[in-house]
Structure 1
Amino acid sequence: MTAKAKQYGNESITALKGADRVRKRPGVIFGSDGLEGCEHSVFEILSNSIDEAREGFGDKIVVTKYRDNSIEVEDFGRGIPVDYNTREKKYNWELVFCELYAGGKYGQGGDNYEYSLGLNGLGLCATQYASEYMDVEIYQGGFRYEMHFQKGEPVGELQKEPTTRKKTGTRIRWRPDLDVFTAIDIPLEYYQETIKRQAVVNPGVLFLLRAEGDGGFEEFTYRYENGIKDYVQELAGEDTLTAVQYWQTETAGRDRADKQDYKVKLSVACCFSNRRQVVEYYHNSSFLEHGGSPERAVKTAFVYQIDAYLKQNAKYLKGESKITYQDVADALVLVSSSFSTQTSYENQTKKSITNAFIAQAMTDFLKRSLEVYFIEKPEEAGKIADQVLINKRSREKAENTRKNLKKTLTATIDMANRVQKFVDCRTKDVSRREVYIVEGDSALGACKLSRDAEFQAIIPVRGKILNCLKAEYDKIFKSEIITDLIKVLGCGVEVKSKANKDLLSFNLDQLKWNKVIICTDADVDGFQIRTLILTMLYRLTPTLIREGYVFIAESPLYEITTKDKVYFAYNESEKADMLREIGSQKYTIQRSKGLGENDPDMMWMTTMNPESRRLIKVTPDSVEETATMFDILLGDNLAGRKEFIAERGQDYLDMLDVS
């Protein structure tokens, strides 16, 4: 060994203490040490103010975003208790701001907060630990309290003085620490989205967001008098299939037989629409991005009850398959807001809950609510059933279309399913196989005579290929030329469309070629065909370009013949150089003929022979530039095309086929 082995013994074990428990491992508490974790630390402070308002203490919360990335949250609740705690033998400010798993939410039966957004006793302390500084001002019991923290440590003593202010409450200002988080510049959109969501699930509470800018503070207010019912109406708009329904209930139960019962409050607002589809879940005011128990309940209950209605009313066709949740969701606008005195979050970030009892209670509640709704509103029930069936049959038709298209485009090329006029090569070694995409039957004939049949295949483009930059996918795949080309490639296509994202699965391992070579005449028509083929590949198989499988066979512009030798010049500069090299020898010079007119030896030498041909690789660096040029020359960018012609048109005048 070249270095002394590190010792690992009893003294190697260490424990993080105090603020380091958060400052050195913020991801454990906040889910990330990046901007997302920083955002969650803000939500932890906001959660405490929301809990106070929900318990009936204060109906206004003010959040201020300052230009220096500091944040302030002010509420008008009871104020955080910070005086001496005789039971714990410590000041409450030490417990709340400097002790993890300490707070007012651990009392038996939920004495202080029956339904709390912050249950774990981590948020306020953890955010203080993760702050560059934190300033706290509290009004409670006729006194004003003030304290300061820096880098997770208290600065000075608790300041306490009498006050004549009658309103109680808490104001906390802090700046997240860049020594803890990699980014702290939280965008305004995060505050707007988060605060709006809280206004939705806390009916009647006024949220005021203040954002400091160059011209002072911009203010945004959020308040939903009827909570999720008003929100669903806002999401769905006026033109809906059904009116907004609102259902609520309270119950109690346990997740396991050996556990204690806990209370649950459920509320759901929903309607059906053929224009909007939105489903959101909240628990104890926290937006459940990943759903969990409420999502399972909604999926089970809605599919069960709508399927039962379809069966009872003979809506299904004979032999027709059952609806899925996706068929329901495509017409559903729903927001659920649940609360419980005990909550099992998937993790501290509270984006999913796992309570088994909540899932079962909500499933039963929704089944009963839907059953009654369908009986009381038969006309709306019929509309819902018809729309869900429309969604189901549209989905099935699209799936069948995708399956058939995939089968068509990835079918094996054999004698029973041969692409028209495709000429294959003999070798099955993909590392050697090359396919030439050529224009027309005459070029096919010339290339076929001059190629090496062992490893070179040819497919002709018959007629003008579709401009894939502007066409919709359904039109693209109706083109026989394009589907034949995709069949020959063998790797499927990549479709960058949400509506068609699973149209075909692209698999680079299924590519049948080591090189895909575009070979067209060196004239205006040839350039256009080349561009259209490149456009097709860029739109449907961009990975082939990025991975370097696509090439352009460069055709010579001039053929210069002397007594002893034939020269090929690929541009004007090469022509001039060759003429200088020839010197006083007699020669003839002519523009190269089209591919179909060249003799096999000339085609082999200039276009097919790997030793002497010139191939231009379409490189990854050129993809974006190519896309921009495609848009100018072939897309809808008319202004760009006009500008390009005005600025660069003269460069191409010598290429025009005019007399």
Structure 2
Amino acid sequence: MKATGRPASYGNESISSLKGADRVRKRPGVIFGSDGLEGCEHAVFEILSNAIDEAREGNGTVITVTRYSDNAIEVEDFGRGCPVDWNPKENRFNWELVFCELYAGGKYANAEGENYEYSLGLNGLGSCATQYASEYMDVTVYREEKKYTLHFEKGENIGGLQSEPYKGKRTGTIIRWKPDLQVFTDISIPTEYFTNTLKRQAVVNAGITFRFREQKGSGFETTDFLYQNGVADYVAELSGDDALTQPVFIESERRGRDREDKPEYKVKLSAAFCFSNKVNLIEYYHNSSWLEHGGAPEKATKSAFVSEVDAYLKKTGKYQKNESKIGFADIQDCLILITNCFSTQTSYENQTKKAITNKFIQEAMTEFFRSQLEVYFIEHKAEADRVADQILVNKRSREQAEKARLNIKKKLSGGIDLSNRIQKFVDCRSKDIARREIYIVEGDSALGSCKLSRDAEFQGIMPVRGKILNCLKADYDKIFKNDIITDLIKVLGCGVEVTNKHSKDLSTFELGALRWNRVIICTDADVDGFHIRTMILTMLHRLVPTLIREGYVYIAESPLYEIECKGKTYFAYSDREKNDIVAGFNGTKHTINRSKGLGENDPEMMWLTTMNPETRRLIKVMPTDVEATVAAFDLLLGDNLAGRKDFISENGYKYLDTADVS
């Protein structure tokens, strides 16, 4: 008997494979690393890579990339022109191999040797995969006194190969395509991607002009990127005139293999570097591809630089007695380094080419940097001493910052026990975080009233004594010396979110360590109460913004008026609400009293209006526009005196009735 809900049988007929364009269109993430904007950007780089390979072989000195207003893209080179006609060896047209066949192209070795010594695109996927993922693609090729054209729509060729005589002198390839929204979730590639990518390619491809054209209305804006001396010019541009050292360009070649049974290959190593106490940047490139995640070159750089700098510090006696060894972070803090290496064989971590894994390249680069740095430190003694001193300053500053971080961690995350008691903090009995609430109240009188009226099972009370520090204007040293703030952070239990130059995470923030499900700010409904509330919110925004962003912070509304009529008491939280209540009495005699402060209310009324989950009013603090919130805090509480003066001039009249002036 067949069970209900069981899937159909899994047999021979269950196996199927994607064919043709579907191999890319239905699984773009496999080829491009993502089906979102990042994948769409990578498709651009695949087409650009082919043009770069041509230009680097000496075929053309200009590559033009055009971004059209409808999100179409065009890459034009002046190389030899992509082969598109009949290929007797493969018994197919070359255009079919290039644009319709994955893992085919001119980057693979042939009987006469490789077409490209150092190729940026080795996987044979780029042109075909991008064509498959396009709404349309138009290809124009100039070669051998002919002009060839191809047109594709959604992975299918329309009309075959068209050709006509061409008597002009130019050669090259023009590919224009529009990424398909049926393949990618987003095709609106930002201008910054094109400018950043083309600038990087200009840096590592000396003497080649990368031209970016962007359609604006009926015309185009054009920007050229050209570094005649490649990475050397780029490092000089970054370092400026007041660096610790002058830029240095180094290069060499090596031959080797990743394993004894693997074939030997060639590696061309080059880099430019200098040291600066104002700028730092490290970028690794391999076969022109920016290695965002590094891999082998990053490991080689860290090993070589730490080894050689450490040896120099020991040799010159610059370490203090029993001082710990430097780390790469101390060097990185003052290093500008651009590596630009090439190899005839490359093992990329994946198709997106953001890291390489070649064992021999790592070994070659390590030895290359160590030997070059050893010579550099000998030949440039004065500069080497300046660098060594700066690296030690970085190291000692980092260690001091780490010590401060640990002290802050100890201060902010200490347990709330008899030996580390928070003054006047009142905990609740429940250990269930999902139930626990902490009321932050103003002053001792409010503490007493809230303590008597709360539900001690799940409601804790933390009084704020005196005026809280303005955390927008104070620096961190001053903030963490403030007992009110550090006590409150201890009670919250989650630490703080603070970063600085020497530590990616000075904070000990951990959302999972938060001891409360709700953090409720409870102040009087008057000017002083609003001011204290704002200061507490500012503190939370500066030190633990995640609590606000994730919806843990609330404001408890206190009533403005108590209205009595026929023995019943009504509470109004605004003038409008008061008027609506009074209107409902239809002339019946009633009295209206301004509500007392929190500390003057009896426990029954406090429970009813402020603490009873069934009757209280809570406002969840969830800023929908963080930038606007930051701007408002900065305007009202920051250092923008002129802006605050203008705001008061324009809006102050609205608050004259509540102003505390005599």
Relative to the length of structure 2, the TM-score reads: 0.90
What corresponds to 1:71 in structure 2? Answer: 73
> Counterpart of 1:156 in 2: which secondary structure?
coil
Q: Deviations over 1:206-257 (max 9, x none)?
A: 2222222214122111221111111111122222110101110011000001
What corresponds to 1:234 in structure 2? Answer: 237
- Mapped to 1, the partners of 2:520 and 2:16 lie a distance apart of 62
User: Which residues of 2 match residues 282-361 of structure 1 at below 5 A?
Assistant: 282-361=285-364
What's the CA shift for 1:182?
A: 2.8
Give the counterpart letter for 1:376 in structure 2: E
2:461 aligned with 1:458: yes
Correspondence for 1:504 among 501, 507, 529: 507
What corresponds to 2:407 in structure 1? Answer: 404
- The 1:259/1:465 distance shift into structure 2, 3 A limit, reads same
- The 1:110/1:32 distance shift into structure 2, 3 A limit, reads farther
Q: Deviations over 1:562-587 (max 9, x none)?
A: 997777655546666479869877x8
Correspondence for 1:163 among 163, 166, 177: 166
Assess if the C-alpha contact under 8 Å between 2:489 and 2:496 holds in 1.
yes
What's the CA shift for 1:129?
A: 2.5
What corresponds to 1:185 in structure 2? Answer: 188
2:12 aligned with 1:10: yes
Moved more, 252-261 or 435-444: 435-444
Q: Deviations over 1:564-616 (max 9, x none)?
A: 7777655546666479869877x8765444444556666566555x3787342
Assess if the C-alpha contact under 8 Å between 1:286 and 1:350 holds in 2.
yes
What percent of counterpart residues are identical?
Answer: 66
What corresponds to 2:256 in structure 1? Answer: 253
Give the counterpart letter for 1:13 in structure 2: I
- Mapped to 2, the partners of 1:24 and 1:580 lie a distance apart of 64
- Mapped to 2, the partners of 1:203 and 1:611 lie a distance apart of 69
Correspondence for 2:423 among 420, 424, 438: 420
2:263 aligned with 1:268: no
Assess if the C-alpha contact under 8 Å between 2:25 and 2:133 holds in 1.
yes
What corresponds to 2:372 in structure 1? Answer: 369
What corresponds to 2:59 in structure 1? Answer: 57
Q: Deviations over 1:319-358 (max 9, x none)?
A: 2111111111111111001111111111111111111000
Moved more, 330-339 or 500-509: 500-509
- Mapped to 2, the partners of 1:484 and 1:105 lie a distance apart of 65
What's the CA shift for 1:191?
A: 1.8
What corresponds to 1:46 in structure 2? Answer: 48
Assess if the C-alpha contact under 8 Å between 1:59 and 1:204 holds in 2.
yes
Assess if the C-alpha contact under 8 Å between 2:471 and 2:542 holds in 1.
yes
What's the CA shift for 1:643?
A: 6.6
Q: How many residues align?
A: 657
- Mapped to 1, the partners of 2:438 and 2:538 lie a distance apart of 18
- The 1:524/1:10 distance shift into structure 2, 3 A limit, reads same
What corresponds to 2:471 in structure 1? Answer: 468
Unpaired segments ≥5 residues, structure 1: none
What's the CA shift for 1:395?
A: 1.0
What corresponds to 2:31 in structure 1? Answer: 29
> Counterpart of 1:516 in 2: which secondary structure?
strand
Assess if the C-alpha contact under 8 Å between 1:96 and 1:103 holds in 2.
yes
Moved more, 203-212 or 279-288: 203-212
- Mapped to 2, the partners of 1:572 and 1:166 lie a distance apart of 83
- Mapped to 1, the partners of 2:624 and 2:37 lie a distance apart of 33
Give the counterpart letter for 2:50 in structure 1: N
User: Which residues of 2 match residues 587-602 of structure 1 at below 5 A?
Assistant: 590-598=593-601
- Mapped to 2, the partners of 1:565 and 1:130 lie a distance apart of 71
What corresponds to 1:84 in structure 2? Answer: 86
What's the CA shift for 1:382?
A: 0.7
Relative to the length of structure 1, the TM-score reads: 0.90
Unpaired segments ≥5 residues, structure 2: none
What's the CA shift for 1:37?
A: 1.9
Assess if the C-alpha contact under 8 Å between 1:413 and 1:419 holds in 2.
yes
Give the counterpart letter for 1:185 in structure 2: S
Q: Deviations over 1:428-485 (max 9, x none)?
A: 5555554433323344445456656565543332221112233333332221111111
- Mapped to 1, the partners of 2:99 and 2:11 lie a distance apart of 35
What's the CA shift for 1:524?
A: 1.8
Assess if the C-alpha contact under 8 Å between 1:144 and 1:162 holds in 2.
yes
> Counterpart of 2:65 in 1: which secondary structure?
strand
- The 1:441/1:200 distance shift into structure 2, 3 A limit, reads same
What's the CA shift for 1:549?
A: 4.2
Moved more, 227-236 or 24-33: 24-33
What corresponds to 1:115 in structure 2? Answer: 118
2:392 aligned with 1:389: yes
Assess if the C-alpha contact under 8 Å between 1:447 and 1:458 holds in 2.
yes
- Mapped to 2, the partners of 1:580 and 1:125 lie a distance apart of 75
- Mapped to 2, the partners of 1:104 and 1:567 lie a distance apart of 84
Q: Deviations over 1:161-194 (max 9, x none)?
A: 4433233322233333333333333222222221
Give the counterpart letter for 1:484 in structure 2: D
- The 1:527/1:153 distance shift into structure 2, 3 A limit, reads closer
Moved more, 47-56 or 1-10: 1-10
> Counterpart of 1:438 in 2: which secondary structure?
strand
- Mapped to 1, the partners of 2:374 and 2:613 lie a distance apart of 77
What corresponds to 1:102 in structure 2? Answer: 104
- The 1:408/1:155 distance shift into structure 2, 3 A limit, reads same
What corresponds to 1:130 in structure 2? Answer: 133
What's the CA shift for 1:59?
A: 2.0
What's the CA shift for 1:144?
A: 3.1
- Mapped to 1, the partners of 2:179 and 2:99 lie a distance apart of 15
> Counterpart of 1:112 in 2: which secondary structure?
coil
- Mapped to 2, the partners of 1:635 and 1:507 lie a distance apart of 27
Assess if the C-alpha contact under 8 Å between 2:79 and 2:172 holds in 1.
yes
- The 1:196/1:603 distance shift into structure 2, 3 A limit, reads closer
- Mapped to 2, the partners of 1:593 and 1:378 lie a distance apart of 76
Give the counterpart letter for 2:418 in structure 1: M
- Mapped to 2, the partners of 1:83 and 1:622 lie a distance apart of 58
2:148 aligned with 1:145: yes
- Mapped to 2, the partners of 1:612 and 1:89 lie a distance apart of 80
Give the counterpart letter for 2:22 in structure 1: D
> Counterpart of 1:620 in 2: which secondary structure?
coil
2:177 aligned with 1:174: yes
Assess if the C-alpha contact under 8 Å between 1:110 and 1:341 holds in 2.
no
- The 1:441/1:222 distance shift into structure 2, 3 A limit, reads same
Q: Deviations over 1:387-424 (max 9, x none)?
A: 11111111111111111101101101222222233344
What's the CA shift for 1:126?
A: 2.1
What's the CA shift for 1:528?
A: 1.2
What's the CA shift for 1:46?
A: 1.8
- The 1:90/1:316 distance shift into structure 2, 3 A limit, reads same
